[in-house]
Structure 1
Amino acid sequence: MALASAQCLNVDQRLLLLKLRNSLVFDTSKSSKLVCWDGSADSWSGVTCEDGFVVGLDLSEESISGGIDSLSSLFRLKFLRSLNLALNNFNSMAILSGLANLSHLAHLNLSNAGFAGQIPTELSRLTKLRTLDLNNLWELEKPNLRSLIGDLGELRELYLDQVNEFAEGSDWCDWCDALSSSVPKLEVLSMSYCSLFGPINHSLASLANLSVIQLDGNNLSSTVPRFLANFSNLKTLSLADCGLQGEFPHEIFQVQTLRTVDLSSNNLLRGSLPEFPENGSLETLVLSFTNFSGRLPYSIDNLRNLSRIELVNCGFHGNIPSSFTNLSRLSYLDFSLNNFTGPIPSLSKSKNLTRVTLCHNSLTGWIHSTRWEFLSSLLILDLGFNLLEGNIPSSLFTHPSIQELLLSDNRFSGQLNGSFDAPPNMLQKLTLSNNNIGGELPMSIWELRGLYYLSLSSNNFSGSFHINQVQQLRNLSDLDLSYNRFSIDATNIASQAFSFLGLTSLNLASCQLTALPHFLANQSTLSLLDLSHNYIRGNIPRWIWTLELTHLNLSSNLFEGMETHMSNLTTLMYVVDLHSNMLQGKLSNMWLPASYLDLSSNNFNSLIPDDISNNLPYLVFLSLSKNNFYGFIPPSICKVDYLEVLDLSHNHLNGTIPDCLMIESLKVLNLRNNQLNGNIPQNILGTCSLKTLDISENLLQGKIPLSLANCKALEFVNIGDNQIDGTFPCHFMAISCLRVLVLRSNKLHGEIGCPHSHCTWQMLQIIDLSSNDFGGTLPMSLLTSLEAMKANVDSNLLQYQFHDFIGIDDLYYKDTMRATLKGLQLEFVKILTVFTLIDFSSNKLEGQIPDTLKDLKALYVLNLSHNAISGSIPFVLGNMDQLESLDLSRNHLKGTIPAQLANLHFLSLLNLSNNQLVGNIPTSGQFLTFSKSSFEGNLGLCGLLLNKSCSISKNRIEEATDDGDNDDSEKKWFYMGILLGFVVGFWIVCGPLVFMRSWRFAYYRFWDEVLFRLSQL
């Protein structure tokens, strides 16, 4: 801080300073400089003088809010060379043009001072400026950038971060030219978040003295020029969130002077890390959220000054080099969301390390306590979502500095041994969830008095304890003990009158609770309560609804009723999940301001109330499925403005589907398994947002409405098990994102497919048209359009179909369906996005099986049974590598079974029964696992699986294969094959004896020995 003595200031200068102080409006309680100024003072804080004149004035962070006008004594300090008014609050006041009177100014800092509006034109007259800092929310219109800096040829440092250009025809696109032609001596360029656009022009290469380039948050949308590697003084290169693309020039990393590189949040920027030269100066390397990939170079230890490295969500893989142990100045390391494997290297030499984040990788091995115990500054250790295993060292829990220890989602096993209360203990956040840790929960864990967050869920902890044990953690705000094997006693006793003053989240799912913890009634800060999957009986108490909860989960318990109808609720409960209880009664008295309400799988037995839109006005998700609701669907449900998911399935509802139910907001409509009748609503608007429509297992009639094609977002359609009439719904071909189409068990007829359609089903993975009256041949054009069934999907990318909503984690809707798989009717409660099925069974299809099926290499299930399909089984079906179930039974197939089907290594069900197949059943590959029933009803088949010899008469074969056209091609090749096999076999055995002398002598010795042994008998 500058400190001028009274002796170095002449009288006029002191009077000017006092006048300035008296005019300024500032907070004396926050001032450390102005508050000390007075006429008798021996020193003036923030003032620098020379030859009796003020040459420097630093009034930064003085809480100044006003008091400078055009007549201010500030502008009479004619010899000022440095003025700093940064970090004040001038209440959006416009900066005054009087600054231009300070013609000797070399350093001007007005950043974050609360000024607003237009940068005055007069600043361009300060031709001696070497530093200009105007950071934060100015406007640069007149003058524009070129006009502002055009005469500032001596400028060395330019800070224009968050300065916006609004003028039409602005020169922001020519910013490189403006800089290179106006400020040739520039060393620091900082213009982050300035709405710059266009590439980094080659003209910028002329600024050879640049040492700092900070252009974050602009829209450069270009590659990174290689000429940046020619800046021999470059120390900082910060280009985060600039829309960069292409390959990053690796030679820039090798600039010897470079200390900071930040390229984060450029998703299209790719590259790799080069071998680093010795004695590199790099201190900070941030590449997070880019497309950088490859392995980390072993030479990274040449960066001896490296203190911060962030590679979050990139594509790096392989082992983390052991050379990391040599980075003694490392303080911050974050490699999360990559593909690193192998063990964690020792970082014990990095004495100043404060954070290590290696979560969401595939790191393996054990955690060695010796690698962490010497890191006395470590605050955060996050190793979650890896493949680490073994015991967790107890020394981590008693580490002298660790505040956050995050080890969830690994394979840790064993038990937690040792004491948790060895002083000093700094743990504030501990997560061990989703591991395999067993044994009794150590009671000493309640000695971690500093904990505010504790998650031990989804492990194998055993034992029991009373909920009162937890009260020792006075600072606790989040507690998750769900899904273990211990039991928690929450029965009410006198000592249970305590309450957690700051408890906001409590998760005790599957803790064998038999009663509600009564201390909850006193929780004023609790927002999330999950007591699901327990054995709590009785009624849900009245006090539950008086808590300020936003998330309540009491599902999968034994609750039978409620003590109140919730009419006194005043706050919005986002989530109320009461499914899988024994709740009964009516909904007519329920008023609940919730966004998510799940009452499925209970014993409600009533009408759905007519005024449901008044009682549940804020609903986004409503599930009443698997109850005993009856009567009509009330039209008033259409008035719930924000409703996205409506599930009324598996009840006893009747009547018709209200026409208004296809409301604009609705994304999921499930009315499955009721007694609904009438037609499907016909007048569906173009604003339809449906993704899932399940109206299966009802009594619906009529045709599939053409207007359903207006629902362009449809992914799941199930209209099966109704009485729908009509032809194949070609209008569905226009729905490009359709994944599941089920029309089974209706009265549909005509040919399958749309011969005149040019659309393709890019994403369709399940199509079930079984048990209808479809005729004609198998639809080649439709089969060739099933793009999602052609390409194999990486098994590591397996996901389930679901719809998320209202922005809350773990809340989503999963589609379900019933299908025939491997001869059984199965309920799919989760549908994998890679599961594929074609079921055209039980129709009147004829003709041959087309060879185009061979292209469906990702098909899992194919069922063409119970039709009139003829011809032979195409051998190209052996190319369908993923096929698990193939049912061609009860058709008119003839010929032999292709041996290529034995190549289907995943095939677990094969049904070829009741056809006209002939010949030997293959005895290799998967055929060894099939039962006799797979081939019965084919008179011409033979082999071990049927206990039937294949040496049958020619007449029997002809009788079994006669199709009236006297075609002998199959028999010709069968009998010629016998002769050819004999010839080939003879030469395989005898050929070497004829042509190889060594084989003949060995053959002779063999028979000599045989004859000699026979002669000794």
Structure 2
Amino acid sequence: MGLSILCFVLLSWCLFLKLLLFEIVVVADSSAFNLQPFCHDDERSALMKFKNSFVIDKHASSYEGAYAKILSWKYEGENTSCCLWDGIQCDEDSGHVIGLDLSSSFLSGSINSTSTLFSLIHLQTLNLADNHFNYSRIPPAIKQLSGLTYLNLSNSAFFGQVPYEISKLPNLFTLDLSFNSDFFGEKLLYLKNHDLKSLMRNLTSLEILDLSYVDISSTIPDFLANFSSLTSLLLEDCELYGEFPKKIFQLPNLQNLNVGSNKNLTGYLPEFHEKTSLTRLILADTRFSGSLPFSIEKLDLLEVFDVKECNFSSIIPSSLGKLSQLTFLNLGMNNFSGYIPSSLHNLTQLTVLYVSFNQITGPIPPSLGNLTKLTVLELSHNQLHGPFPESLSKLINIKYFNLGVNNLGGIVSFNMFFNMKNLTSLQLGSNNFSLVFQKTNINETSPKFKLLGLSSCNLYEFPDFLKHQNELEWLQLSGNKIDGQIPKWMWNTSVDTLVVLKIANNFLTGFHYEQPAVLPWVNLGILELSSNMLQGSLPIPPPSVKEYNISGNMMTGKIPHVFCNMSYLYILDLSNNNMDGMIPQCFRNLSSSLSVLCLRNNSFHGIIPQTCSGNASNNLMLIDLSYNRLHGQLPRSLSNCMMLEGIVVSNNRLNGVFPSWLGSLPKLKLLTLRKNEFYGAIGKPEKDLEFSNLQVIDLSYNKFSGELPSQYIFSWNSMKVINSSDFTYMIAEFRIPVSKDFWLIPNHRYSITIASKGVEIHYGPIQDIYAFVDLSSNRFEGKIPELFGNLKALRSLNLSNNMLSGHIPSSLGDLTMLESLDLSQNNLSGNIPQQLKQLGFLARFNVSHNNLTGPIPQGKQFNTFDNSSFEGNLGLCGDPLSRKCGDLQFSPAPTSTFGQVDDSGFLSVLDWKFAVAGFMSGLVVGVVLGNAMITKRHGLLEKMLSRISRGRWD
């Protein structure tokens, strides 16, 4: 009985506890439900309409964690309250929607001021980043959301003017409009109707401002230095200009400052008298200059310091070594000099160190080996010398290592790099040391290189360890002393991954006897085998090839037709070989991809194939077919090659009249028709400003006739402007996608051959500021146009060996950049203009074998020219000729015989020429010539005298 009562009591107690627990759960559930803010119907409706204005597109967002948040927005089921929807935040008290975060939500579609988004007037935070709004404008209705404190519209394909209405959101703490750009990186947002100053004036509460990649095109307003709340100021690549306000560096809360990639933004780093909050300072690719202040040590919280590609100079201050929090330091591409401070060994948190492209001297401090967290070390393109520091072998975490293009010497054991297990990129080329390879066991833990640059390392053979590399993407062995054949085992090295193979400038004689029909690297994009001793037929690259350069070898045979199917080919250079046959007519198929076609100095014959079809995708920039045996005419289809910058077909057997139809090519800089069989007069251009970008024209050694083409000279605008600000070269340059990870920007430098005093000089490369005109060895006649004096950028002018008459224009004295002037072998008369003394750069001068008279200008450059510059002008006198001007006695002729004496003293000159002609050809000839001089004083007699003086009667 007692036991039964006990059981009953226990059972009752359990039921009570169960009921109590259920009640607690129900009450808790009810409380939880009651704590959820209610959703206003009008806001829920507005959100649904906003949702329905877009489609879901998986390509609209780039973030890996993106997902379609709006798919959780539904009227029925458990999520009827919009406050429970993904990306929505409601106020706990009022239930109004105060936050909308649809970043990375695959949204695709347009948005405008009628959108129901702008009826959510209680919004405080709005984030639509990383979507695609179809290049629509940021709606001015944004001003209706006057309570916004956070606005993020970055990377969402908005286009057009940034609305001024954003300036009417005074509560903003964060404004982010960054990275609205298209697939090619072109900026989509801009400030044109108002500047940064008017946009920012009222946003004084800002803490974060990110307008990176917005085209602002203005200065940075000084009053930003009063925005004391700013923690991040991000204005990367905004087309900013002017001087950066120094006081912004002193903002008390500023942690992140990035104004990089504004190429016209100038500025200086101030002296830092107090510690700052800066953790990231990025000034890369601007025109900041001066020195790094020693007081930079005050920035002791700095983690990232990037001043790559600025104009900083002087030494690297040792105080940098006190910034112990630094993880990223980039000083590359400046003008720093002196040593690398040994104090940098204190930067034990450093993972990335760039000091490349400066003027750093001295050895590499051995203490850099203490920076064991380094993953990137870039010290290339400096003047470092001394032995290679073995202490760098301690960098066991290094991934990218570049010491190329320095003066390091000694003998370096390559085996030290086998201990760097994470090393994937190693560049040691262009130093003075010799690499040696000890025999060692290559195992699975040895580094697998992706990029290996060993150019000019005194190698005599292919490094044996390459047999075991199967992940190489880039291999450069150029400029060594490797001879013989390419070994057979190379055909099995990284066959699936190799994209770039450069073995130029060695002594290679050929390929292994089992050379495959097609080179085995299936993804090969760049093949450079130039300047070796290779023989035989061309090796066939895979269809993926983009640059094929085998120039400067001894290749023979014809161009295989398989090259016509290489639809990705950008550069084809077979120059300076022994190849023959015809250029395949199917090369016209390549004009949509091919940018450089260089077949110079072979034995190709036949006609030039049609190269460009009429479509807009022609990319040909340079065609060089010089020094071959081609005949026929230039193909008229070249006028369709709208990207053409250079046409070089000299030293062939081409014929036809001057190809004036080339004048419509908008980018043509270089035209060389030298030593062919072109003929006829060069008439007037069909349109104004034809050949307006031409900088180099060579029509020499043809059969052109008539007057010099003064109408074309008037159009040569690019020869009229002197631009010496940039030391660049005339090149065909473009971007080549090599693989999914990187692009190459290869270039092909243009070259020309210049003749002066019978000597040919090969110019390669040509400076981009170079202007050159050679119309010599033709049948041009008449006067030299004064218009030549307008071509201020001319460096060389050659009009020799024609039938030009009249005086030398004094306007040639205006060509202050002129280095070479050749007017020899003509029928020019009169004096040498004294204005030519102004030509301070003139190094080569030739007026020999003309009918010039009077004193030779003295002083300056004229003191450097010898007799050969003036010979064959019997009327010239003065140094360097032995004939002194005072020795010439002229007897004035009777007025009745020779007419009136003009201001130039013409009769005295004719009198002298009469005497010379009579002496040389006999009295009767002299009398006849004398009468002819009276009637035609600038005509046939002048030519006859010239030819007598040269012994030439043709």
CA shift in 2, pair 1:246/1:356, >3 Å: farther
SS in 2 for 1:271: coil
Query: Which position in structure 2 is the counterpart of 1:970?
Result: 904
Distance in structure 2 (CA, Å) of the matches to 1:631 and 1:963: 71
Deviating more after overlay: 280-289 vs 662-671: 662-671
Shift of 1:347: 1.9
Report sequence identity in percent: 31
Which of 593, 601, 620 aligns to 1:673? It is: 601
Residue 353 (structure 1) aligned with residue 302 (structure 2): yes
Distance in structure 2 (CA, Å) of the matches to 1:262 and 1:963: 89
Matches within 5 A, 1:311-460: 311-315=259-263, 320-324=268-272, 326-345=274-293, 346-369=295-318, 371-422=319-370, 425-460=372-407
Shift of 1:253: 6.5
CA shift in 2, pair 1:892/1:216, >3 Å: same
Which of 25, 33, 36 aligns to 1:55? It is: 36
Which of 645, 650, 656 aligns to 2:582? It is: 656
Shift of 1:520: 2.8
Matches within 5 A, 1:644-793: 644-663=570-589, 664=591, 665-681=593-609, 685-687=613-615, 689-793=619-723
Distance in structure 1 (CA, Å) of the matches to 2:111 and 2:265: 50
AA paired with 1:943?
G
Which of 492, 502, 511 aligns to 1:553? It is: 502
Matches within 5 A, 1:835-984: 835-955=770-890, 967-971=901-905
SS in 1 for 2:697: strand
Distance in structure 1 (CA, Å) of the matches to 2:402 and 2:898: 76
Distance in structure 2 (CA, Å) of the matches to 1:883 and 1:143: 60
Q: Relative contact order (alpha carbons < 8 A, sep ≥ 6): 1 or 2 greater?
A: 2
Which of 79, 87, 101 aligns to 1:133? It is: 101
SS in 1 for 2:526: strand
AA paired with 2:633?
K
Shift of 1:488: 1.6
Shift of 1:139: 5.0
Shift of 1:946: 1.3
TM-score for both structures, normalised by structure 1: 0.75
Distance in structure 2 (CA, Å) of the matches to 1:91 and 1:284: 29
Distance in structure 1 (CA, Å) of the matches to 2:884 and 2:407: 57
Query: Which position in structure 2 is the counterpart of 1:514?
Result: 460
Residue 532 (structure 1) aligned with residue 478 (structure 2): yes
TM-score for both structures, normalised by structure 2: 0.80
Question: Do the aligned residues in 2 keep the contact of 1:500 with 1:523 (CA within 8 Å)?
Answer: no
Distance in structure 2 (CA, Å) of the matches to 1:710 and 1:914: 43
Superposed CA offset, 1:961-982 (max 9, x none)? x99775521129999xxxxxxx
CA shift in 2, pair 1:875/1:541, >3 Å: same
CA shift in 2, pair 1:773/1:112, >3 Å: farther
Which of 806, 826, 829 aligns to 2:736? It is: 806
Query: Which position in structure 2 is the counterpart of 1:585?
Result: none
Shift of 1:268: 5.1
Shift of 1:99: 8.3
CA shift in 2, pair 1:303/1:521, >3 Å: same
Superposed CA offset, 1:15-41 (max 9, x none)? 6999xxxxxxxxxxxxxxxxxxxxxxx
RMSD: 4.0
Which of 232, 254, 262 aligns to 1:284? It is: 232
Question: Do the aligned residues in 1 keep the contact of 2:170 with 2:204 (CA within 8 Å)?
Answer: no
AA paired with 1:685?
S
Which of 205, 211, 217 aligns to 1:269? It is: 217
SS in 1 for 2:281: strand
Distance in structure 2 (CA, Å) of the matches to 1:814 and 1:927: 34
SS in 2 for 1:945: coil
Distance in structure 2 (CA, Å) of the matches to 1:667 and 1:506: 27
Distance in structure 2 (CA, Å) of the matches to 1:210 and 1:805: 41
AA paired with 1:290?
C
Matches within 5 A, 1:240-251: 242-245=189-192, 248-250=195-197
Shift of 1:515: 3.6
SS in 1 for 2:228: coil
Shift of 1:716: 1.5
Deviating more after overlay: 618-627 vs 510-519: 618-627
Query: Which position in structure 1 is the counterpart of 2:75?
Result: 97
SS in 2 for 1:322: coil
Matches within 5 A, 1:227-266: 242-245=189-192, 248-250=195-197, 252=200, 256-266=204-214
Distance in structure 1 (CA, Å) of the matches to 2:609 and 2:467: 48
Shift of 1:203: 5.6
Question: Do the aligned residues in 2 keep the contact of 1:743 with 1:768 (CA within 8 Å)?
Answer: yes
CA shift in 2, pair 1:143/1:560, >3 Å: closer
CA shift in 2, pair 1:350/1:240, >3 Å: farther
SS in 1 for 2:828: strand
Query: Which position in structure 2 is the counterpart of 1:642?
Result: 568
Question: Do the aligned residues in 2 keep the contact of 1:10 with 1:53 (CA within 8 Å)?
Answer: no
CA shift in 2, pair 1:54/1:846, >3 Å: same
Distance in structure 2 (CA, Å) of the matches to 1:102 and 1:497: 62
Distance in structure 1 (CA, Å) of the matches to 2:27 and 2:900: 121
SS in 2 for 1:250: helix
CA shift in 2, pair 1:461/1:17, >3 Å: farther
Superposed CA offset, 1:755-779 (max 9, x none)? 4443511221111111111111111
AA paired with 2:721?
A
Question: Do the aligned residues in 1 keep the contact of 2:782 with 2:803 (CA within 8 Å)?
Answer: yes
Distance in structure 2 (CA, Å) of the matches to 1:702 and 1:87: 63
Shift of 1:277: 5.1
Question: Do the aligned residues in 1 keep the contact of 2:520 with 2:542 (CA within 8 Å)?
Answer: no
Query: Which position in structure 1 is the counterpart of 2:940?
Result: none
SS in 2 for 1:328: coil
Question: Do the aligned residues in 1 keep the contact of 2:406 with 2:430 (CA within 8 Å)?
Answer: yes
Question: Do the aligned residues in 2 keep the contact of 1:280 with 1:302 (CA within 8 Å)?
Answer: no
Distance in structure 2 (CA, Å) of the matches to 1:127 and 1:456: 62
SS in 2 for 1:696: coil
Superposed CA offset, 1:69-108 (max 9, x none)? x9xxxxxxxxxxxxxxx989679845212489866x7x66
Question: Do the aligned residues in 2 keep the contact of 1:872 with 1:893 (CA within 8 Å)?
Answer: yes
Distance in structure 2 (CA, Å) of the matches to 1:841 and 1:88: 68
Distance in structure 1 (CA, Å) of the matches to 2:807 and 2:690: 28
Residue 176 (structure 1) aligned with residue 140 (structure 2): yes
Question: Do the aligned residues in 1 keep the contact of 2:357 with 2:381 (CA within 8 Å)?
Answer: yes
Which of 451, 462, 477 aligns to 1:505? It is: 451
CA shift in 2, pair 1:176/1:927, >3 Å: same
Query: Which position in structure 1 is the counterpart of 2:244?
Result: 296
Which of 395, 403, 421 aligns to 1:474? It is: 421
Question: Do the aligned residues in 1 keep the contact of 2:291 with 2:312 (CA within 8 Å)?
Answer: yes
Query: Which position in structure 2 is the counterpart of 1:617?
Result: 543
Shift of 1:185: 4.1
SS in 2 for 1:926: helix
Distance in structure 2 (CA, Å) of the matches to 1:570 and 1:706: 36
Distance in structure 1 (CA, Å) of the matches to 2:554 and 2:508: 17
CA shift in 2, pair 1:884/1:411, >3 Å: same
Distance in structure 2 (CA, Å) of the matches to 1:562 and 1:726: 43
CA shift in 2, pair 1:636/1:317, >3 Å: closer
CA shift in 2, pair 1:417/1:138, >3 Å: closer
Distance in structure 1 (CA, Å) of the matches to 2:33 and 2:571: 78
Matches within 5 A, 1:113-192: 128-137=96-105, 139=107, 146=114, 148-149=116-117, 152-162=120-130, 175-177=139-141, 179-181=142-144, 183-192=145-154
Shift of 1:555: 2.8
Shift of 1:870: 0.9
Distance in structure 1 (CA, Å) of the matches to 2:131 and 2:291: 47
Query: Which position in structure 1 is the counterpart of 2:488?
Result: 542
SS in 1 for 2:218: strand
Distance in structure 2 (CA, Å) of the matches to 1:957 and 1:841: 37
Distance in structure 2 (CA, Å) of the matches to 1:263 and 1:620: 37
SS in 1 for 2:308: coil
